Structure formats: structure tokens, C-alpha cells
């Protein structure tokens, strides 16, 4: 079969390939960590990971979303520090986002 | 759930209560997730996928960012080369899941593999973050991961189909701040993990590197580069609690 050829059930094959690749990523890190012993440094690296992943995903999204993103996320952080309730925080953030965008910023 | 950090949380276990707790934690994210899934469905329809293909992809891949990126590559009819590219790019976008799984090992490691691995197959950014937060607050109920994953999955497939059928479900999502729900939710989940500026240095490194890579390198490498840089920075900060 050449690279340019098409064949029946190609979409199903594509979805299967994407799914298997994703499953590998989902279990791979967990599996690997069971086979190596953690030193203090490796443990500290893992502890820093959750927040780092969030920062690495969120900051670029905010940077490309303009001032509304920064004001809305700022409101969420403030709200979470005052009262740990995601519903209130998200509601406040959305209100800020809608207001800022309605104001044309 | 309002308690402060309890270090050295106990051994992992499963419970029905944890299942419900996980679902409840996932509730605030469901509207944003629904819009995300509907957006994917709409794009999939434009790219010539059948409704069944779009639903199957949501059901089995269940990773929104990679599904949307795949739609950039998808060309009808599919060639073998395109299929290989789809798998490869999906792997790169979802590489961050390696890191998430690794961070779950110290907690879920003691559980039987036959129980943990099937649950890990359903893991998403949101359910992982919810579980990490549960752990940071002293919990050790592994069902929180399963419950939050199930809640997100149950919504994900039908909204994909809705988006596919309805075309654009919301005419202007930006106007209602819908595009900001995901970052707002993530940051809200980050606040309980705050242990003072010293432990936030890796987060700043991660964010800075991610911004830099985003500006310089096309694609989704910024997620991986930023996450790894933050973890490495964390490795060089001494323990002082």
C-alpha cells in the first residue's frame, strides 16, 4: 500500500490510531514511574508538575485572548482566595469577561 | 473540602461517595466542556466526517485539544500518510498526559494495576487536576478521578453530536466569555495548591517558557516545554516546609 492510496474504513483507522496514541500517553507516565525509584529531586519535580502544567497551558491562552482574559482570571483568583467556591469564582470571572468585552476592550 | 493542606495523606481506596464527589467537582467545568465539545462537532461536520466518526472520536480519544488539532490535518479522503500524521500529532498534543500520569504514581501506585489502568484511560486535564487537588487537601479516594472523568465523558459525546447537527450552537461564544471558561477553571483549581511564593517559582518558570516557546515555535510544543521547565525548576528548589 502506498502512502497516497485510500482504502475503506480509513476514518475508523484514523480514530483508532489517535485513540491508541492517547491511551499510551495516559498510562505511559504512570507505568514508567513504577519502574524507577524516586530520588528527592525527582519527587520535587513531580510535586512542581501540576501547577507547571496549568501555567504552561493557561498563560499562552490568556496572552492570545487579550485584557478580558487577564481581568477575568484575576477576578477568579481573588474570589478563590476569599472563598473557595468554584461556582462563585467562575460566575464572577464570566461577569467580568462579559462586562470588559461589552465595554469594547 | 475547605480544610488546609494535610500532608502525608493515607493509602488510596475506592468508594461510591468518592465517585459522587468527583462528579460534583467536575460540575463547574461541564458548561465549558459542552461548548468545547460542540465546537469540535461543528468543525468535524465542516471537515466531512460522518456523525458516527465524530461521535466515535469523542468517545474513544476523549481529548478536546488534540481532537480540534486533528481537524486541522484531516482531509477527505484520508490517505495512509494523513492517518499516520494524525496519530503522531495527537501523541504530541497529548504528551502532557505522560506527566500527569507520572504525578499520580506516588498516590495510586499501591492500587492493583487492573483497577488503575482502565481508570487512567479516561483521564483528562480537568479530572487529573481535580484529583490532584483532592489529594493536596488530604484526600486519597481514587474514585474522585473516576467520577470526574465519567461526568466529563457523559457530556462530551452528546455535545459533539449536538454541535455536529446544530452547526454553530452559539453564534458568538467570545461575547459571553465562553472561550475563557477553561483557563478560569484551571486557575481556580490552582489556588488551593498555593503553598507560598517559594513553591510558585516553578509555575512562573513554566508560564514564562511556555509564552516564549509559543512565540517562537509553531504548534503545541509550548505546553510540553513549559511543563517540563517548571518541573525541572521545582527539582532545584530545596524542600523547606
Q: Do A12 and B56 touch (CB under 8 A)?
A: yes
Q: What confidence tier does A74 reach under pLDDT thresholds 50, 70, 90?
A: very high
In whole angstroms, give the CA distance from residue A74 to residue B33: 21
Residue B151 has pLDDT above 90, yes or no: yes
Q: Does residue B16 surpass a pLDDT of 50?
A: yes
Write the DSSP symbol of residue B13. Answer: B
Calculated CA dihedral for residues B215, A62, B123, B49, nearest 10 degrees: -80
3-state secondary structure B194-228: CCCHHHHHHHHHHHHHHHHHHHHCCCCHHHHHHHH
How far is it, in rounded angstroms, from Cα B223 to Cα B65?
Answer: 11
Q: Name chain B contacts of A49, Cβ cutoff 8 Å.
A: 99-100, 102-103, 227, 230-231, 234
Cβ contact B121:B101 at 8 Å: no
Q: Which residues contact residue B48 at a Cβ distance below 8 angstroms, ignoring those fewer than 6 apart? A: B74, B76
> Which one of A14, A56, A61 has the shortest CB-CB distance to B206?
A56
Q: Which whole number is the average pLDDT over B160-172?
A: 72
Calculate mean pLDDT across residues B161-166.
86
| Chain B closest-CA separation from residue A11 CA (Å) | 7
Q: Answer for the pair B227, A52: CB distance below 8 angstroms, yes or no.
A: yes
pLDDT above 60 (res A3): no
B141: helix, coil or strand? strand
Query: pLDDT tens, B173-208?
Result: 567 776 777 678 778 877 877 777 888 899 999 999
Surface-to-core class of residue A103, CB atoms within 10 Å of its CB (0-12 exposed, 13-18 middle, 19+ buried):
exposed
Q: Which residues contact A24 (CB under 8 A, 6 or more apart)?
A: B91
Q: What is the pLDDT of residues B214-240, one digit of tens each?
A: 999 887 678 778 988 998 999 888 655
pLDDT at B240: 54
User: Which cell goes with A49?
Assistant: 508538575
Cβ-based neighbours of B235, under 8 Å, separated by 6 or more:
A41, A42, A44, A45, A48
Instruction: Tell me whether residues B184 and A101 touch, CB distance under 8 A.
Output: no
Tell me what pLDDT residue B237 has: 83
Compute the average pLDDT of residues B147-151: 97
Which of the pair, B200 or B16, is modelled with greater confidence?
Answer: B16
Whether the CB of A50 is below 8 Å from some CB of chain B: the reply is yes
pLDDT value at residue B172: 63
**What pLDDT does residue B232 have?**
92
Is the pLDDT assigned to residue A37 strictly greater than 80? no
B207 vs A contacts (CB less than 8 Å)? 55-56, 58-59
Angle subtended by helix axes B51-60 and B64-73, to nearest 10: 140
**Facing residue for B177 by CB, picked from A56, A62, A97:** A97
Query: What are the pLDDT digits (tens) for B30-88?
Result: 887 887 788 788 778 877 889 999 999 999 999 987 888 788 778 878 888 889 888 98
Lowest-confidence range among A64-68, A76-80, B8-12, B18-22? Answer: B8-12
**Which comes out higher in pLDDT, residue B157 or A102?**
B157
CB B44 within 8 A of CB B159: no
Cell of B207: 508560564
Q: Is pLDDT above 50 for B1? A: no
Residue B177 has a pLDDT of 72
The burial of B41, by beta-carbon neighbours within 10 Å (0-12 exposed, 13-18 middle, 19 or more buried), is given as buried
Give chain A's mean pLDDT.
85
Proportion of chain B above pLDDT 70, given as a percent: 89
Residue A2 has pLDDT above 60, yes or no: no
Q: Is the ipTM of this complex over 0.90?
A: no
Q: Is pLDDT at A41 greater than 80 in this prediction?
A: yes
Across the interface, do A17 and B61 touch by the CB < 8 Å criterion? no
A98 touches chain B (CB under 8 A): yes
Closest approach of B78 to chain A, Cα-based (Å): 6
Q: Do A56 and B223 touch (CB under 8 A)?
A: yes
How crowded is the C-beta side of B98, counted as CA atoms within 13 Å?
Answer: 15
The rounded distance, in Å, linking the Cα atoms of B201 and B193 is 13
Cβ burial B42-73 (10 Å sphere, 16+ → b, else e):
bbbbebebeeebbbbbbebbbbbbbbebbbeb
DSSP letter, residue B76: S
Q: Which residues contact A9 (CB under 8 A, 6 or more apart)?
A: none
Q: Is the pLDDT of residue B7 over 50?
A: no
Residues of A in contact with B127 (CB under 8 A): none
Amino acid at each position: 500500500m502506498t502512502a497516497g492510496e485510500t482504502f475503506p474504513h480509513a476514518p475508523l483507522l484514523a480514530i483508532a490510531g489517535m485513540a491508541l496514541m492517547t491511551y499510551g500517553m495516559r498510562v505511559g507516565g504512570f507505568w514508567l514511574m513504577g519502574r524507577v525509584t524516586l530520588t528527592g529531586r525527582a519527587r520535587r519535580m513531580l510535586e512542581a508538575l501540576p501547577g507547571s502544567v496549568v501555567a504552561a497551558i493557561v498563560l499562552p491562552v490568556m496572552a492570545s485572548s487579550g485584557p478580558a482574559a487577564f481581568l477575568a482570571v484575576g477576578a477568579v483568583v481573588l474570589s478563590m482566595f476569599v472563598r473557595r467556591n468554584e461556582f462563585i469564582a467562575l460566575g464572577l470571572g464570566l461577569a467580568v469577561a462579559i462586562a470588559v468585552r461589552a465595554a469594547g476592550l | 473540602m475547605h480544610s488546609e493542606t494535610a500532608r502525608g495523606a493515607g493509602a488510596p481506596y475506592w468508594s461510591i461517595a468518592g465517585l459522587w464527589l468527583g462528579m460534583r467537582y467536575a460540575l463547574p467545568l461541564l458548561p465549558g466542556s459542552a461548548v468545547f465539545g460542540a465546537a469540535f462537532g461543528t468543525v468535524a461536520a465542516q471537515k466531512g466526517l460522518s456523525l458516527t466518526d465524530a461521535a466515535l472520536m469523542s468517545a474513544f480519544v476523549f481529548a478536546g485539544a488534540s481532537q480540534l488539532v486533528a481537524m486541522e490535518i484531516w482531509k477527505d479522503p484520508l490517505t495512509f500518510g494523513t492517518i499516520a500524521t494524525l496519530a503522531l500529532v495527537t501523541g504530541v498534543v497529548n504528551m502532557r498526559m505522560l506527566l500527569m500520569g507520572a504525578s499520580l504514581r506516588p498516590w495510586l501506585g499501591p492500587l492493583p494495576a487492573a483497577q488503575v489502568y482502565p481508570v487512567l484511560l479516561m483521564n483528562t486535564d480537568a479530572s487529573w487536576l481535580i484529583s490532584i487537588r483532592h489529594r493536596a487537601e488530604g484526600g486519597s479516594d481514587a474514585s474522585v478521578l473516576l467520577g470526574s472523568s465519567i461526568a466529563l465523558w457523559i457530556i462530551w459525546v452528546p455535545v459533539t453530536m449536538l454541535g455536529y447537527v446544530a452547526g454553530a450552537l452559539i453564534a458568538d461564544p467570545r461575547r459571553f466569555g465562553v472561550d475563557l471558561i477553561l483557563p478560569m477553571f484551571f486557575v481556580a483549581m490552582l489556588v488551593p495548591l498555593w503553598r507560598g511564593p517559594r513553591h510558585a517559582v516553578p509555575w512562573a518558570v513554566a508560564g514564562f517558557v511556555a509564552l516564549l516557546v509559543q512565540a517562537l515555535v509553531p504548534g503545541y510544543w509550548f505546553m510540553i516545554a513549559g511543563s517540563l521547565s517548571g518541573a525541572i525548576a521545582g527539582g532545584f528548589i530545596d524542600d523547606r516546609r
